[in-house]
Structure 1
Amino acid sequence: MAIVKPFRAIRPTRDKAPFVVTRSYEEYSRKERDAKLQFNPFSFLHIINPGFKFDKKVSGPKRFKLVYNRYLEFLEDNILMKDAMRCFYLYQVEKGSLKASGLFCATSVDDYRQGVIKKHEATLKKREELFADYLETVKFNAEPVLMTYEDNPQIASVIAKESEKYPEYEFTTPDGITHRLWLINEQDTVSGLEAAFEDMSNLYIADGHHRSASSDLLAKRMQAKNPEHRGTEPYNFFMSYLIPESEIRIFEFNRMVKDLNGLSKEAFLMQLDEYFRITNKGSSLYKPTKKHHFSMYLDGEFYSLFLRRKIYEFTDALSELDTQILFKTVLEPILGIKDLRNDQRIQYGFGKHNVIRMKDEIDAGNFSVGFGLVPITVDEIKAIADEGLVMPPKSTYIEPKLRSGMAIYEL
C-alpha cells in the first residue's frame, strides 16, 4: 500500500513561471549559467547559486544559509507563492514524440524504509549526509524524485480529464520542451487519487536515489529532535513526481575506455572470444539491436559482440543485465576496471548521436575502445529492485528530466 499525499506547493507566480524554472544545475555550462544569472533576475539559479549576488563562490554550511535567504527573498518579492489548498500537481512535458504526464505529490519516508518504494541503485553515505545537511538548513525540496508505477486506468482517467482544462502554466523553454501544469484540488478527485495509489503494492524509483536516501536521513534527524513526533510532520514525506511506466523513456549509456590494459589489439580480441561471437562490421556506424548484443569500436572498426549463452551463467536479474554482463566479462577481467564509479580510465556517454561522438573520441586518440549497448527496460529495473539488487553505475539515462523550481515542497 503506497501512501501518496497532496501538498501546498511553493511555486512561481503564473506570470514568472517560464523565467523561474531551470534545468538541473549541473546541466548548464559555466558560460550559459553565468548568462542566465546575469540577465534573468527571476531564475531559480539565483537561489541555488546564492554567491553570485556577492560575486563570490561559497560552499558548505555558508552556502546552505544563503540559499535559504535567497529563497525567502523570492517569496517576499512575490516571485514565488504558496498555494492556499493542498493539491496534486499534474505536470506534463512534451517534445516531439515524448509526451509524459505525471503528478507532483508527497511520498512517505516510511514507505521508503519499508520497501514499498523500491530502489535499484546504491547511494554514497557522504552524499546522503551532505544533502540531508542541505535540506535541514534550507527547509525545502525543489527537485522531486522521479518514480514510476504500473499503468492504472483510474489514474489515467483523472489525468486525461484534468488535462482537458486550461492549465495554470503553459510555456515552451528554449530547448523545445513544452511545459504544462494543472492544480488538482477538488476533494473527490484528490481522495480518488490517494485511494488508487493505496491499492498499489509498490512504487519504483527511476531517478533520485540520493534525494530519497537523504530525505530518509533527514526524517530520522528531525524525529530525534522532536519529542512530540507524530509521523504526520512534513519531514516524514518528500516530493516526488509519479509517472506511469508506459511514459518513461530509458536510454543507454555507452562506455569508453582509455587503454587496453597493456594488451595488443589481437590479444584483446582473443580474450573477448571466450565470451562473445565476434564479427567485424567495418568502418560504418554500427549499433547493437537486442539484449545480450553489444557493439564495439576499436582501431577504426566496429565489431558485433554476441554473448555466448552456454558460457555465461545467469543466476539472478542482475546477471542478465547487459551493463553487468559487460562489466563481468570485459571491463573487470580483461581491462582491469573494478570501480565503475571512480576509475578515471572509463567514461560514459548517452544520447541519440553518442555513437558518433564515441567514434570521434577514439579516432582522436582520447580512448582506445568503446562499447555500445541497447537500453535497459522498465521490467529489468523492476526485477532488479524486486530482488533487492543494485545496478552498475550509469546503466540508465531516464527521461523526462524535471525542472527545478516548478513546485517546491516545504519541510
Structure 2
Amino acid sequence: MPKILPFRAVRPTRDKVSLVAARAYEHYTEEGRKFRMDRNPFSFLHILDPGYKYHKEVTGRDRFTLVRNRYQEFKEDGIFIQDEQPAYYAYKIIDRDGNVFSGMIAAASVEDYENNIIRKHEETIQHREELFKEYLDTVGFNAEAVLLTYPDNSDIERVLEKTMASRAEYEFTTTFRDTQYLWPLTDEAEIAEIKKAFETIDCIYIADGHHRSRSSYLLAKAHQEDGKKNEAFNYFMSYLIPESDLKIYEFNRIIKGLNGHTKESFLVALDAVFRIENRGTALYKPTKKHHFTMYLDGEFYSLYLRHSQREFGNPLERLDTQLLYDHILRPLLGIEDMRNDDRLGYTDGRKDMVYVKDIIDKGDFTVGFGMLPVTIQELKEIADAGLTMPPKSTYIEPKLRSGITIYEF
C-alpha cells in the first residue's frame, strides 16, 4: 500500500498566486520568458532564472545557489508563506477544452518508489537524474509535483468532493485559459479517511515526472548514507489523480531522410510488414491499435500491421510506439537511439498530423508517422511487467504550474 502523507506547503498568498504561477521553465522560449519577467516581478520565473536580476546567464552550481537565494527573498518579502499544519491540497483544473482534472497534492514515499509500489514505465537518463538531485539538494525545495495516478476510489473521491464544495483558497485562470482551484484539506478525520483509502490500493503509477521522482529517491539515499535524519527527504511532492481523469495523447514521429532509400524502395520495404493504402491528400487518422498514419512526399498513407506480425511475447512488444521502432525506425531508417539521434523529432498529439504535414512540407523533415495514444491499461501492464516504453510514448495531462505549492526539505 502506498504511503501518501499531508505536508506543510509553502505557497503564495491568495492575492498573488495567479502572478506567481508559471509553466515549467523549459516550456518558454528565451524571448517569452524575458517578456513575462520584464512585466511581472512576482513570477516564479524570477526564482528559476535568477541571473535575470544581474542581466546575465548563470549556469551550473552557481545558478542553483542563486535559485535558493531568490526563493528566500520571495519568502522574506511575504510572497510565500508556509502553512502551519500539514494538509492534503485538493486541486482541480478545468482546461480550455472542458477537460476536468481533480485530485490532490501530497507527499509520496521514496521507499514506495524503491519497492515498486510506485511503478514506472519510462527509463531515465543518469546525468539528468544526478543534475536534478544536486539541484534539489542545493535549493532545498521542490516546486514541481510528480504526476501520479491511482485506480478510481469512491472513498477518496467522496472526501475530495466534499472539500471542493466549499470556496476555494485559490481560483485563477491562466493565459492558456485553464482555470485552477486549490483547497487545503486539514480535517484530521478526513485525512485519516484518505490514508485508509490508500491502504486498500496495491500500487500507484507515475504518469509524468520519472526524472523528478528518481532524483528525489537518489537524494534521500545520499542523505541516509551520510547519516542525516531529515524525514522530509524520504518523500517527494506529487499530484495524485484517479486513472479516469488522466488524459493521454500520442507523440507523433518525424524523421529526416530515408536512410538511403528512395520513396519507392521504402514503400516496398514497408510492404513486407504492413498493408499499405495511399490516401492521397486526404488526412488519415488511425482508428485501431496497430494502424498507423504515414505522411511522405505530399501524400498520406495508412499502414496496417499484417496479422502475420502480431505474435507478441509481452506488453511492450504490442505497444504501437515499440512496433514502429521495431519494424520501421530501426531496421529501415537506421535509428537505434531514439533519445539522441538528431534525425528523429517528436510532436505531441494535440497538434495532430496536419501539423506534421506542415513541418514536412517545409522540407525540414522527410516522413512522419502517427498512431493512437497509449491507453492507461497499456501503461499499467508495461509498468507491472517491469518494462519501459520507448521515449516519447505518452504526452500526459494535466500539467501543473510551478510555484503554487512548494515542498521544503
Deviation at 1:48, TM superposition (A): 0.8
1:357 equivalenced with 2:355 (yes/no) = yes
CA offset digits 1:266-287 (Å, max 9, x no partner): 1101110111010111112221
Deviation at 1:311, TM superposition (A): 2.6
Cα distance in structure 2, aligned partners of 1:396 and 1:257 = 18
The aligned residue for residue 18 of structure 2 is 18
Cα distance in structure 2, aligned partners of 1:14 and 1:361 = 42
Moved more, 281-290 or 352-361: 352-361
Q: Secondary structure, in 3 states, of the residue corresponding to 1:47?
A: helix
Q: Secondary structure, in 3 states, of the residue corresponding to 1:115?
A: coil
The alignment's TM-score, normalised by the length of structure 2, stands at: 0.98
The aligned residue for residue 150 of structure 2 is 149
User: What is the correspondence of 1:233-244 to structure 2 with a 5 Å cutoff?
Assistant: 233-244=231-242
The aligned residue for residue 269 of structure 2 is 271
The aligned residue for residue 75 of structure 1 is 75
Cα distance in structure 1, aligned partners of 2:266 and 2:62 = 51
Contact 1:155 1:196 in 2 (8 A): yes
1:375 equivalenced with 2:373 (yes/no) = yes
Cα distance in structure 1, aligned partners of 2:355 and 2:238 = 34
The aligned residue for residue 401 of structure 1 is 399
The alignment's TM-score, normalised by the length of structure 1, stands at: 0.98
CA offset digits 1:329-352 (Å, max 9, x no partner): 000000100011110111000143
Unaligned runs of 5+ in 1: none
Cα distance in structure 2, aligned partners of 1:215 and 1:36 = 30
Contact 1:4 1:198 in 2 (8 A): no
CA offset digits 1:176-217 (Å, max 9, x no partner): 000100010000001111111122110100000000110011
Contact 1:10 1:80 in 2 (8 A): yes
CA offset digits 1:353-408 (Å, max 9, x no partner): 33112111212221111101110000000000000001000100000011101100
The aligned residue for residue 138 of structure 1 is 139
CA offset digits 1:246-268 (Å, max 9, x no partner): 00000011111111111111110
Contact 2:89 2:182 in 1 (8 A): yes
Structure 2 counterpart of 1:236, one-letter code? N
1:118 equivalenced with 2:116 (yes/no) = no
Q: Secondary structure, in 3 states, of the residue corresponding to 1:78?
A: coil
Cα distance in structure 2, aligned partners of 1:88 and 1:144 = 13
Structure 2 counterpart of 1:409, one-letter code? Y
CA offset digits 1:37-75 (Å, max 9, x no partner): 111111000111100000110111111110001110000
Contact 2:252 2:349 in 1 (8 A): no
The aligned residue for residue 8 of structure 1 is 8
Unaligned runs of 5+ in 2: none
Q: Show structure 1 runs of 4+ deviating over 4 A.
A: none
1:326 equivalenced with 2:324 (yes/no) = yes
Cα distance in structure 2, aligned partners of 1:200 and 1:330 = 39
Structure 2 counterpart of 1:344, one-letter code? D
The aligned residue for residue 59 of structure 1 is 59
User: What is the correspondence of 1:11-410 to structure 2 with a 5 Å cutoff?
Assistant: 11-95=11-95, 96-226=97-227, 229=229, 233-410=231-408
Contact 1:2 1:199 in 2 (8 A): no
Contact 2:291 2:371 in 1 (8 A): yes
Structure 2 counterpart of 1:121, one-letter code? E
Cα distance in structure 2, aligned partners of 1:32 and 1:366 = 24
Cα distance in structure 2, aligned partners of 1:63 and 1:247 = 36
Cα distance in structure 2, aligned partners of 1:10 and 1:2 = 24
Cα distance in structure 2, aligned partners of 1:225 and 1:81 = 30
Structure 1 counterpart of 2:235, one-letter code? F
Structure 2 counterpart of 1:225, one-letter code? D
Structure 2 counterpart of 1:31, one-letter code? E
Structure 2 counterpart of 1:15, one-letter code? D
Counting aligned pairs with the same residue, the percent is 53
Cα distance in structure 1, aligned partners of 2:349 and 2:34 = 25
Moved more, 345-354 or 184-193: 345-354
Structure 1 counterpart of 2:311, one-letter code? E
Deviation at 1:226, TM superposition (A): 2.2
Cα distance in structure 1, aligned partners of 2:61 and 2:351 = 40
Deviation at 1:312, TM superposition (A): 4.0
Cα distance in structure 1, aligned partners of 2:210 and 2:348 = 20
Deviation at 1:224, TM superposition (A): 1.7
Cα distance in structure 1, aligned partners of 2:350 and 2:48 = 30
CA offset digits 1:125-158 (Å, max 9, x no partner): 1111111100111010100100000000001111
Cα distance in structure 2, aligned partners of 1:210 and 1:183 = 27
Cα distance in structure 1, aligned partners of 2:220 and 2:351 = 42
